[in-house]
Structure 1
Amino acid sequence: MEVFLQPGEVGAGSSGHVFKTLLGSCVSITLWHPRRRVGAMSHFLLPTRNQPPGKELDGRYADEAVPLMRRHLMRLGVDPMECQAKIFGGGRMFASESQSGALAVGRRNGDVARELLNAQGIVVVAEDLFGYGHRKLVFDVATGDVWSCQVQPGDPDLQGAQ
């Protein structure tokens, strides 16, 4: 089953699932259990909310997307602590954007993803973060492979990326 994650969505599934997304300054985390061949993927926009969280967790925010992923995995009978993590995205979307300026949301997203996973004791085995432009991402839950292709803004390959 092929699933395209929109910004703010989290998905989980077994070996028949392939998750895809398109990232700009957003970040995606994948969690994969190698023995059970079960995984989860997020597509978050911001590190955290600027206000107290609502009643429901919201996948648009990193600090809520990770608990959502954990919840989905536990429902599938997988301990998230036994998963391997990979992190992708956090690109600069404008050539004039500073890596450390107020607009560097991609940098903040990538940094907070690392911090959240480290704080939970989840091992990060690979990452493809930052740089300039978008990333097309494909996560095959059967193998745990994640393909990341970075493309510059305005690249015609972004047409029909879904």
Structure 2
Amino acid sequence: MSPESSVKLITLNPGDYAFGEGGTVLQTLLGSCVAITFWVPRWKFGAMCHYILPTRPSNNEHSSLGCYAEETLPAIAGRFIDMGLRADDMEIRMFGGGNMFPMQFPQKETLIGEQNIAAGRRLLKAFGFSLAEEDVAGEMRRKVTFEILTGRVQVQHGVGLNPDLMERR
């Protein structure tokens, strides 16, 4: 069996989150949404979420819990706690939160991306997690690819998502 055939690729849509191990690769596309990766190096296990908003609007009971930071991050943290893991067992990275319409929304206090970033930081801190790295804000889209076996995260910036490939680990 070739190494390529053992890779399981999972594409997260807005509001999704997933766990994986070994050869799992998680990927997503971001604008104002935020993705957070969680990697457990010693177990080659990890998770990634792609949330849309910080909190669930009071008039929306039908969206999945993955859509909102205030619901997604406690669910992921709870799973790790149930597995007996501590915050310092993981490497955590945050991506996204861009201002996709800078000409329409020039005032920072109205930006969904900035609100998403702040919510992620606040909730991660509340669970005792610290960020190893972040690539947030700005006026760009991002494609994030997380290889769970190695913990490597690749981020592509830009409209076409081809330029400025950056590798992280």
TM bucket (normalised to shorter chain) is: 0.7 to 0.9
Aligned counterpart, 1:8: 15
Return the match for 1:98 from 77, 99, 106: 106
Partner amino acid, structure 2, of 1:79: L
User: What code does the residue aligned with 1:142 have?
Assistant: L
Matched residue, 1:83? 90
Cα 1:101–1:144 shift into 2, 3 Å:
same
Runs of 5+ unmatched residues, structure 2: 1-7, 164-169
Cα offsets for 1:17-69 (capped at 9, x unmatched): 10000000000011111111110000000001122896997000001111222
SS in 2 for 1:137: strand
Any gaps of 5 or more consecutive residues in structure 1? none
State the Cα distance separating 1:156 from its structure 2 match: 7.4
Does residue 141 of the first structure (1) align with residue 115 of the second (2)?
no
Residues 55 and 68 of structure 1: is their aligned pair in 2 closer, same or farther, counting only changes over 3 Å? Answer: farther
Query: Which letter does structure 2 place at the counterpart of 1:87?
Result: M
Q: Across the two proteins, how many residue pairs are aligned to each other? A: 154
Question: How does the TM-score come out when normalised to structure 1?
Answer: 0.85
Q: Which has the higher contact order (CA 8 A, sep 6+)?
A: 1
- 1:78 is displaced (CA, Å) by 5.3
State the one-letter code of the partner of 2:16.
E
Q: Give distance in 2, aligned partners of 1:130 and 1:39.
A: 24
Taking only the aligned residue pairs, the percentage that are identical comes to 35
The 5 A counterparts of 1:32-111 are 32-51=39-58, 58-73=65-80, 77=83, 79-81=85-87, 82-96=89-103, 97-102=105-110, 104-111=111-118
User: 1:57 touches 1:68 (CA, 8 Å); kept in 2?
Assistant: no
What's 1:124 paired with? 131
Q: 2:124 aligned with 1:114, yes or no?
A: no
CA contact (8 A) 1:22 1:137 kept: yes
Q: Distance in 2 between matches of 1:6 and 1:78?
A: 28
CA-CA distance at 1:98 after TM superposition: 2.0
* C-alpha distance in structure 1 between counterparts of 2:140 and 2:65, whole Å: 25
Give 3-state SS (helix, strand or coil) of 2:26's partner.
strand
Report how far residue 140 of structure 1 moved.
Answer: 0.6
Query: In the TM superposition, what whole-angstrom CA distance separates every residue of 1:131-150 from its partner, at most 9, and x where no partner exists?
Result: 01210000011111111111
